[in-house]
């Protein structure tokens, strides 16, 4: 699933993102350029330094978690491409 960053992902927003991702039983990967990180890793997410307008891809192990996707979109962090 492709998403566009709407607001910078730093401390508080990164923590919320990782906490929500951790509720999903399977693995969630975030891909940006040559980076591939586990969405449940706060340090990995911070290393991406996500800024508005950047595109990322989320890969879910199994079925995508609609609640997780809705939570990050409703929080204004991302928009679905």
Contacts of 75 (CB under 8 A, 6+ apart): 13, 16
Model confidence over 4-28: pLDDT tens digits?
999 999 999 999 999 999 999 999 9
Instruction: Tell me the two tokens of residue 43.
Output: 């340090």
Question: Beta strand 55-60 with 2-5: parallel, antiparallel or unpaired?
Answer: antiparallel
Does the domain spanning 2-80 belong to CATH 3.30.1340.10? yes
Mean pLDDT over the full length of the chain: 95
Domain ranges of the chain: 2-80
pLDDT attached to residue 76: 95
Model confidence over 14-69: pLDDT tens digits?
999 999 999 999 999 999 999 999 999 999 999 999 999 999 999 999 888 899 99
pTM: 0.91
Q: Which helix (H) or strand (E) holds 78?
A: strand 78-80
Report which of 21, 19, 2, 3 is spatially closest to residue 11, judged by C-alpha positions. 19
């Amino acid at each position: 699933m492709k998403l566009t960053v709407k607001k910078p992902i730093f401390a508080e927003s990164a923590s919320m993102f990782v906490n929500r991702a951790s509720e999903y039983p399977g693995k969630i990967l975030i891909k940006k350029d040559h980076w591939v990180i586990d969405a449940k890793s706060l340090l990995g997410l911070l290393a991406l330094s996500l800024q508005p307008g950047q595109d990322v891809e989320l890969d879910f192990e199994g079925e995508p978690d609609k609640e997780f996707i809705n939570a990050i979109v409703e929080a204004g962090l991302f928009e679905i491409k």
